[in-house]
Amino acid sequence: MSVAVKPAVRSGLGETIVPGEFSLSRDDFRRISQMIYADAGIHLTEGKAALVYSRLAKRLRALRMQAFRDYCDLVASPDGAKERQEMLTSLTTNVTKFFREPHHFEHLKAQVLTPLARQSGPKRLRLWSAACSTGQEPYSIAMTLLSLWPDAVNQDVKILATDIDRNVLSLAEAGVYAESLLDEVSADQRKRFFEPAGAQGLRVNAALRRLVTFRPLNLVENWPMKGPFQAIFCRNVVIYFDEPTQQGIWEKFAPRLAPEGALYIGHSERVTGPATSALRSDGISTYRPAGAGKR
Ligand SMILES: C[S@@+](CC[C@H](N)C(=O)[O-])C[C@H]1O[C@@H](n2cnc3c(N)ncnc32)[C@H](O)[C@@H]1O
């Protein structure tokens, strides 16, 4: 009697893990998760298979493809470079809002900007929103800064805003937001920092625009910027990375912080690994260079 050879079942790789219009096999999922890890450091466990399916099913429909295997073949090939970007955009989570975790902006104002504003002489200020999504975070930083220091636009002050996803960066640069997204922006701030953009909502004004520079940057690749930064916001992004990747990123932030600077991270994130000797906790999801504030 011959023995039936079922390589797919034996390894489990051909097994469908999300059934449906296209059906996603374990092998398809493994290929997608390897590519997204290589490209962006994003760590997808099999528990995220249904999410991957639902986000990428739209791409398969748009491309009139019948199977995830064909999609994987495309994005793995040199011809699929553009679609690989689309895959990244589909799989990243871009949720953000103005003044998210307001205690960070209060800390920035009271502990970082106010002491700097009191110093005499010309000021050089560099602030960084390191996964800025559609721009609400860097514009919230800019509003905090201008509320305290209206003349900042005429000084050596720059807010760098970076993200891996060029689609969110172009929305951020346009700076147009539906009124429903402006709940956390006070009436006074709306009046001062926004202008009408017709049916689309409100557009950030020239002062905010002048302060913020948007650039693409992949946090798991080399960073050209050296700092020092008086504040780095890296919030709600490393949560998608594995522990070694997170630790590598904390280690790269530490030397880029000014001695009086602060690092703000997401509420469910934590600095771990070698960087803990260079950074000390200074309140909820806030870190400062070890030694800062002890003068
Ligand atoms: C949930 S949003 C966070 C936005 C904002 N920091 C906040 O807390 O509201 C996560 C952002 O991280 C970006 N991202 C994911 N992987 C990245 C990487 N490897 N390098 C840079 N940005 C990345 C995504 O494109 C997305 O815009």
Output the pLDDT for position 119: 85
Q: Are 192 and 221 in contact (CB under 8 A)?
A: no
Residues 11 and 111 both lie in one domain:
no
What are the pLDDT digits (tens) for 207-249? 999 999 999 999 999 999 998 999 999 999 999 999 999 999 9
Residues 140 and 163 both lie in one domain:
yes
DSSP 8-state secondary structure symbol assigned to residue 42: B
Output the pLDDT for position 8: 40
Select from 39, 42, 85, 133 the residue to mutate for testing ligand 1; criterion: most ligand atoms less than 8 Å from CB. Answer: 133
Select from 92, 129, 160, 233 the residue to mutate for testing ligand 1; criterion: most ligand atoms less than 8 Å from CB. Answer: 92
Output the pLDDT for position 108: 98
Output the pLDDT for position 292: 63
Domain ranges, residue 79: 7-91
Residues 193 and 243 both lie in one domain:
yes
Nearest to 15 by CA among 95, 217, 102, 7: 7
Instruction: Give the pocket of ligand 1 (CB within 6 Å).
Output: 40-42, 92-96, 100, 131, 133, 137, 163-165, 168, 217-220, 235-237
Residues 198 and 240 both lie in one domain:
yes
Output the pLDDT for position 3: 41
* Tally of structural domains, the chain: 2
Output the pLDDT for position 293: 55
Residues 127 and 199 both lie in one domain:
yes
Output the pLDDT for position 11: 53
**Residue found by looking up tokens 């000021």 in the block:** 123
Give burial (CB, 10 Å; 0-12/13-18/19+) of 122: exposed
Residues 72 and 169 both lie in one domain:
no
163 is known as an active-site residue: yes
- 130 assigned to some structural domain: yes
Instruction: Write the residue with the smallest CA distance to atom 9 of ligand 1.
Output: 96
SS percent in the chain: helix, strand, coil, step 5: 50, 20, 30
Pairing of strands 202-204, 176-177: antiparallel
- 277 assigned to some structural domain: yes
Helix crossing, 49-62 with 26-40: angle to 10°? Answer: 90
What is the C-alpha separation between 125 and 153, in angstroms, rounded? 11
Residues 232 and 118 both lie in one domain:
yes
What is the C-alpha separation between 116 and 124, in angstroms, rounded? 10
Distance between Cα 208 and ligand 1 center (Å): 21
Residues 177 and 278 both lie in one domain:
yes
55 is known as an active-site residue: yes
CATH code for position 240: 3.40.50.150
Output the pLDDT for position 5: 37
Mean pLDDT score of the chain, rounded to an integer?
Answer: 93
Residues 141 and 214 both lie in one domain:
yes
Q: Which residues of the chain have pLDDT under 70?
A: 1-11, 292-295
Catalytic residue among 27, 28, 39, 163: 163
Residues whose CB falls within 8 Å of the CB of residue 124, separated by 6 or more in sequence, listed in order: 156, 157
Tokens of 71: 């999609």
What is the C-alpha separation between 233 and 160, in angstroms, rounded? 10
Tell me the pTM. Answer: 0.93
What are the pLDDT digits (tens) for 156-171? 999 999 999 999 999 9
